[in-house]
Structure 1
Amino acid sequence: MKNLKREAVNSRSLTLLALAMLLSVCTGYAQHGELWLEYAGGQGPGKGKKIVLISGDDEYRSEEGMPMLAKILSTHHGFDTKVLFAIDPEKKEIIPNYKSNIPGLHFLADADLVIMLIRFRELPDEQMKFIDDYIQAGKPIIGLRTSTHAFNYGKDNQSKYRKYHWMASEAGWEKGFGKRILGETWVAHHGHHAVEGTRAMIDGLSHSSKHPILRGVKDIWVASDVYTVNGLGDDAEVLVHGAVTHGMTADTPINWEKALMPIAWTQTYTSDAGNSGKVFTSTMGASVDLESADLRKLVVNAAYWCLNMSHLITENTKVDYVGAYNPTMFGFDNWRRGMKVADFK
């Protein structure tokens, strides 16, 4: 009888152990291969700080650029990073033009910094809540390229977060998240899209005052064109202006018939809850743009600045790729089909 009881206990223990192992494996898979990426920080000044990078645009291949930046921030600088993607919930594939699902936004609850490149998302309220909570807390944000027009609610959508819409008219949120938080919404292409590129012109006053984000940044040319920027807020500081280039290679001359436009600036925002946060915005940021080492340096320096770590920025910010990086040229509907999150690890 004792042997039977012992066997029953052992059997039950083995069953519970097997279930625990299965749960562990399933949970690990969900977190590290199916819905989002995680990179533990190595040694570096960012040790213990958490950065969430959000991709989700249908043109500029942020699903390629954000993992690359996350690896740099984790491996070279010590930050713990997570990368979120637009996911088709049935296929569990990255579908950049699937506009209503970005799993993992709950990680914003304890994030120290968000870096985003998203475009015209219409997320459900249960996901938008985490973005709104983050902003209401006054936490820092880096917004790249199309993040100026990150959200686009349909006319019949009655979401309580409609104020984030890129052309919102709600008092205090006119022109939505882009204007209220980042400094500008979508206006127009100033350069000829996919025909003219952008030559970065470092702002002389900011350079003379030794703005920490500009340390070591000297030469940026990107393939994405200059955006029109109509009017930034009074507290915005333009760090880089964009000159339109006649062609799509770095050696093409500047088109001086088109005025310079701000393409990178800092400012602060104040949330409805009265909390203020630091902002760095750049209208550069396509995956092919990030082949520019000095643009990567600009973004990494901005992360330090946003986290009040400017004193740790050097002239030689390390932004070498971690592994291979072969970005896809921007364009609608040209993302790599059938890609799972783990394929970007």
Structure 2
Amino acid sequence: MKQFLLSLLAASGLMAADHVVYEPAGAAKGKHIVLLSGDEEYRSEESMPMLGKILSQRHGFKCTVLFSLGEDGTIVPTNGASLSHPEALDSADAIVMLLRFRHWDEATSKKFEAAVNRGVPIIALRTSTHAFSGYAKDSPFAVWNWNNATGGWGKKFLGETWVSHWGKHKFEATKGIIEAANANHPVLRGVSDLFGNTDVYEAAPPADAVILARGQILQGMTADTPPASYKKATAAKVEQDVNTPMMPVAWLRVVKNDAGTENKILATTMGAATDLTNEGLRRLVVNGVFWGLGQEVPEKADVSIVGDYQPTMYGFGGFQKGLKPEGFELAK
């Protein structure tokens, strides 16, 4: 009865939407992509709707975007306990996520866990290496915490947790250099000129990872600045030039989960909302969805932006106040 009443309220417009759904345009692919936003710094509340519009309107996927909300129904990325409408995960065929330090309630966490255990492919951006933090020690999900002794959910599935800003944060941008040995991988079809104005993260994916791109640290914040050159020590206390070797910034894995099924993983430490103004990075993400679903990757996927996209610069505390999920609906 409660669910019936909620449905009536939603249909009548008396209850504000807590998520947004983009129905496919053109020939439907019959797959449901759920995009999870929830980070305090990199504006995933702006980038996930943009990617959902591309995947639905350019490529025929049904897309649902979920948010972190405050009590007033507005988007509050700093609310690490919130994920709106987690029921969408029950029918997810793939997950695209940019999360940081989330600690959802048990019911929401179980829905995410169940989706992962079904073997859905996961496309994980930027801070998803440290997606979870703050679960109590006696919680069944404490093992997801990024600073768990095992490295948490990020280390287990993506192959890395939070380590360090390898480049100088907000001073040195990233140029993506395609890994020559894997340049013909389908996920790299049509991908070129990778650039993001975020810095390179320190990352050491395991041996089973297929490296797609490495991050060349630039001296400045624009793509035309030369590479940086100075010495720095890794977490393992090995001193090296920051660009020799370059850190991986995009890689693939196939990981067996706790239920014994396998998840196809595309992880990239790029992916702030500002990074995704880059066509090559958007194409990498879209290609990852096709690859993860076992569908043919287009030769050059259409990743043209649907509507307007003027992302807010990243940084703590600078998210747009008062935004609601309904504000990201497609223009009628």
Normalised to the residue count of structure 1, the TM-score between the two structures is: 0.87
Counterpart for residue 316 of structure 2: 332
Q: Give the partner amino acid of 2:199.
A: D
User: Which of the residues 11, 14, 18 maps onto 1:35?
Assistant: 18
Q: Give the partner amino acid of 2:144.
A: Y
Deviation at 1:21, TM superposition (A): 10
User: Which of the residues 186, 197, 201 maps onto 1:227?
Assistant: 201
Query: Deviations for 1:19-56, whole angstroms, at most 9, x for unmatched residues?
Result: x999535246489x520000001124x62110000000
- Residue aligned with 2:164, SS: coil
Counterpart for residue 86 of structure 2: 105
Counterpart for residue 129 of structure 2: 148
Query: Deviations for 1:53-77, whole angstroms, at most 9, x for unmatched residues?
Result: 0000000000000000000000000
Counterpart for residue 8 of structure 2: 24
User: Which of the residues 144, 148, 169 maps onto 1:164?
Assistant: 144
Q: Give the partner amino acid of 2:307.
A: G
Query: Deviations for 1:256-297, whole angstroms, at most 9, x for unmatched residues?
Result: 331310000000111112111100000011000000011101
- Unpaired segments ≥5 residues, structure 2: 231-241
Greater per-residue helix proportion: 1
Counterpart for residue 191 of structure 1: 167
- Counterpart-to-counterpart distance in 1, 2:311 and 2:175: 20
User: Which of the residues 128, 137, 149 maps onto 2:118?
Assistant: 137
Counterpart for residue 69 of structure 2: 87
Q: Give the partner amino acid of 2:270.
A: M
Q: 1:27 to 1:242 in 2, by over 3 A?
A: same
Counterpart for residue 238 of structure 2: none
- Residue aligned with 2:181, SS: helix
* Range moving further from structure 2, 104-113 or 294-303: 104-113
- Counterpart-to-counterpart distance in 1, 2:130 and 2:251: 16
Is 1:245 matched up with 2:218?
Answer: yes
Misfit runs of 4+, over 2 Å? 20-31
Q: Give the partner amino acid of 2:164.
A: A
- Counterpart-to-counterpart distance in 1, 2:88 and 2:52: 15
Counterpart for residue 8 of structure 1: none
- Residue aligned with 2:323, SS: coil
Q: 1:22 to 1:198 in 2, by over 3 A?
A: closer
User: Which of the residues 72, 94, 98 maps onto 2:54?
Assistant: 72
Is 1:282 matched up with 2:268?
Answer: yes
Q: 1:34 to 1:180 in 2, by over 3 A?
A: same
Q: 1:30 to 1:327 in 2, by over 3 A?
A: farther
1:28-67 matches, cutoff 5 A: 29=13, 33-44=16-27, 47-67=29-49
Asked if the contact 2:287–2:297 (Cα under 8 Å) also holds between the matched residues in 1, the reply is no
Asked if the contact 2:186–2:297 (Cα under 8 Å) also holds between the matched residues in 1, the reply is no
Normalised to the residue count of structure 2, the TM-score between the two structures is: 0.90
User: Which of the residues 138, 142, 154 maps onto 1:178?
Assistant: 154
Asked if the contact 2:119–2:261 (Cα under 8 Å) also holds between the matched residues in 1, the reply is yes
Q: 1:166 to 1:23 in 2, by over 3 A?
A: closer
Is 1:313 matched up with 2:295?
Answer: no
Deviation at 1:109, TM superposition (A): 1.4
- Counterpart-to-counterpart distance in 1, 2:251 and 2:76: 30
Deviation at 1:186, TM superposition (A): 0.3
- Counterpart-to-counterpart distance in 1, 2:196 and 2:67: 24
Deviation at 1:338, TM superposition (A): 1.0
- Counterpart-to-counterpart distance in 2, 1:22 and 1:206: 49
- Counterpart-to-counterpart distance in 2, 1:28 and 1:176: 42
Counterpart for residue 121 of structure 1: 102
Query: Deviations for 1:241-264, whole angstroms, at most 9, x for unmatched residues?
Result: 001011111111111331310000
Q: How many residues align?
A: 313
Which structure has the greater CA radius of gyration? 1
Counterpart for residue 10 of structure 1: none
- Counterpart-to-counterpart distance in 1, 2:96 and 2:280: 17
- Unpaired segments ≥5 residues, structure 1: 1-19
Q: Give the partner amino acid of 1:272.
A: D
- Residue aligned with 2:98, SS: strand
* Range moving further from structure 2, 232-241 or 72-81: 232-241
Note the aligned Cα RMSD (angstroms): 1.7
- Residue aligned with 2:311, SS: coil
Q: Give the partner amino acid of 1:212.
A: P
Q: Give the partner amino acid of 1:189.
A: H
- Residue aligned with 1:108, SS: helix
